[in-house]
Amino acid sequence: MLYIALLSSPYDYLALLLAGLRSGERAFTDGGPRSRVGSVSVTAGRDRVHEELTDCSRGSDMLSLSTADRTVSPPLLSIPRDYNAAFDLLESNLLAGRGAKVAYIDDKGRYTYNELVTRVKQFAHALNRLGIEPEQRVLVCLQDTIDFPVAFLGSIWAGVIPVAVNTGLKTADYQYLLQDSRARALVVSEWLLPLFEPILNSVPGVKSIISSFDALLTECAEQPANTNCDDACFWLYSSGSTGMPKGTIHLHSSLIQSAELYGRAVLGIREDDVVFSAAKLFFAYGLGNALTFPLSVGATAVLMRDRPTPEAIFARLREHQPTVFCGVPTLYASILASELPAPESLRLRGCVSAGEALPREIGEQWRRHFGVDILDGIGSTEMLHIFLSNRFNDICYGTTGYPVPGYEIRLVDDTGAEVQRGEIGELIVAGPTSAIGYWKNRAKSLHTFGGRWTRSGDKYYQDANGRYVHAGRADDMLKVSGLYVSPTEVESALLTHPLVLEAAVIGSEDNHGLLKPLACIVLKDRTLASETLAEQLKQHVKSVLQPHKYPRWVEFLGELPKTATGKIQRFKLRELYPSRAGR
């Protein structure tokens, strides 16, 4: 072991040298203020030398659980220095006597907290046996089954860094992710393995491939790795809605922070909840919904391997009777366009939406049918989960509500100065769950992360009541006739038309090279597409918004390009329709 310290006096040097000689280690020093490093703490004075040694050979007895004072807002969360996120989420449930309670329900069965903990420890031991060392990466490409929380938490338990990736990508995308992350192992669902086989020879850094857990889970790694609350814990790749995905690095302290600040304090998740998230676990939003939040309170989570179609959603809602459902706006729109189950056949007490702004019409229509509200909020991969949200007792559809306690929000102009209330500005956020940066991407890290503040890339304004209203992505905003146009506002207007299922608005150049709104529309009945309907939609927008905001062109599509997390990929639409000159 190598000790490195910054020393301020000869007494400090002597103390550290003596400590190193006693332990058989070498000590390297340079000038500077005194500090505590590794297992040596030095206090120096002219007349005496004091040395304190701590035992670094212990296992989980060195690690402590987080604690929270929830009598105040935001809750005061205490996270010990020696801390492992997986140990905290799992051990707290065993200490609370929930070992026999069901933690997960997937398409194949039910799994208690005792069974989950055993599998996690077995997976951690398997990584140790395969020679995967702490701080090395494993790429996790798993569908939503019990295997995902086992692999994700088992990696963290072992001090290994899981890199959760989208299960809906192409072979070339996975080649990029394996090479970019320098993963030492690949954990992949069996039916996805053929997508990786053509590229495995091009990623020699991958030493192990895990596609079946049956023979793997044998012995347990009883003791979690001696990790630190500020250690890198896991990575999530950005969704790629604006280009190549970026590896976003989160700390061990991030998971429980998001659970306390949003999961408990805003969502109000409880031990008796059954949570069903259609948003997948590889998505930051889905990870909180179906892993962090339920495990933080001892609730039960329902996992679905299938693609989240309305029919698949209804089947789980009826069979497992979840109390909390989490989706994205495009999914809520698709559900509402389907044959809906009777509200009394379900047990929902609340729903959550994120990923994109929830249009007012969708929220109000959902409430009218199901009698429960959708809690709309905004989060990001960089901030891990929702930091700005409505509240169940204060829903205002068409807005994103107020900051989650524990987070600070500012709206700034291009110079970084705060804008006036009512003016559109870029949202920047400060909070304890911010990522520490992007892997191997200094330029974009510097652009996004500035001290305490993280740039969201979203444009917002505050209404007269102080609620935040989404105006679109910073790179999606249009300037028409010298005035800013929010694509989100135009899309919301289009969605109030009874024939429109989905809408995406982008900018396209006219004959003079000037940018004007273009609407890409998916109809509920696609056979109704016509020039006449296109003109009706233009007039519909003119009737509810200022005239300069109406779409100059309307294109009817079979579907909108989306990421696997449900975000509309407007950059692909811009590539498809860069100019409407001559039309």
Q: Is the Cβ–Cβ distance between 468 and 402 less than 8 Å?
A: yes
**Confidence at residue 61, expressed as pLDDT on a 0 to 100 scale:** 57
CA distance 353 to 363: 10
Where do you find CATH 3.40.50.12780 in the chain? 67-468
Angle between helical axes of 113-129 and 85-95 (0-180°, round to 10)? 150
Rounded to the nearest 5 degrees, what angle is found at the Cα of 355, between the Cα atoms of 352 and 358? Answer: 60
Query: Could you identify the residue written with the tokens 């056979």?
Result: 527
Predicted pLDDT of residue 243: 58
Beta strands 402-403 and 408-412 are unpaired
Strand partners, 188: 141
Rounded Cα gap, residues 486 and 499, in angstroms? 22
Q: What is the DSSP letter of 200?
A: G
Cα–chain center distance at 146: 19
- Secondary structure E strands in 211-362: 232-237, 247-251, 274-277, 300-302, 324-327, 350-353
Please list the residues that pair with 163 across neighbouring strands: 139, 235
Residue 404 has what DSSP assignment? P
CA 579 to chain centroid:
34
Cα–Cα dist 487/135, whole Å: 42
Q: What CATH number was assigned to the domain covering residues 476-576?
A: 3.30.300.30
Query: Using CA of residue 213, residue 216, residue 218, residue 219, what is the dihedral sign?
Result: negative
Nearest alpha carbon to residue 246 among 258, 255, 237: 237
How far apart, in whole angstroms, are the C-alpha atoms of residue 506 and residue 487?
Answer: 7
Q: Are strands 300-302 and 402-403 parallel, antiparallel or unpaired?
A: unpaired
Left, alpha or beta for 311 (phi > 0: left; psi -120 to 50: alpha)?
A: alpha
Nearest to 120 by CA among 154, 162, 86: 154
Task: Give, to the nearest 10 degrees, the angle between helix 487-495 and helix 360-370.
Answer: 40
- Distance, CA of 159 to CA of 235 (rounded, Å): 13
Q: Which residue carries 């974009």 as its tokens? A: 444
Task: Work out the burial of residue 244: count CB atoms within 10 Å of its CB; fewer than 13 is exposed, 13-18 middle, 19 or more buried.
Answer: exposed
Where do you find CATH 3.30.300.30 in the chain? 476-576
pTM value surpassing 0.75: yes
What values do phi and psi take at 528, rounded to 5? Answer: -85, 0
The encoded tokens of residue 253 equal 């302290």
Task: Tell me if 472 sits within 8 A of 457, measured CB to CB.
Answer: no
Planar angle of CA 112, 288, 310, nearest 5 degrees: 85
Tell me the mean pLDDT per 10 residues along the chain, length 583: 34 37 34 28 28 30 88 96 98 98 98 98 96 97 98 98 94 95 97 96 94 89 95 88 80 98 98 97 97 98 95 97 95 93 97 92 96 97 98 96 98 95 96 97 94 94 96 80 79 94 91 85 95 96 89 95 81 87 57
Q: Tell me: cis bond preceding 74? Omega within 30 of 0 counts.
A: yes
CA distances from residue 410 to 357, 446, 468 in whole angstroms, order as listed: 18, 18, 10
Q: Could you give the angle at the alpha carbon of 491 between the alpha carbons of 381 and 363, nearest 5°?
A: 70
For residue 253, give the DSSP letter: T
pLDDT at residue 463 in the model? 97
Contact in structure between 134 and 156 (CB atoms under 8 Å):
no
Q: How far apart are CA 274 and CA 402, in angstroms?
A: 26
Check: CB of residue 446 under 8 Å from CB of residue 430. no
CATH superfamily of 67-468: ANL, N-terminal domain (3.40.50.12780)
* Distances from the Cα of 264 to the Cα of 255, 292, 296, 358, angstroms: 13, 11, 9, 22
CA distance 579 to 583: 9
E-strand stretches of 25-75:
27-31, 40-44, 49-53, 67-69
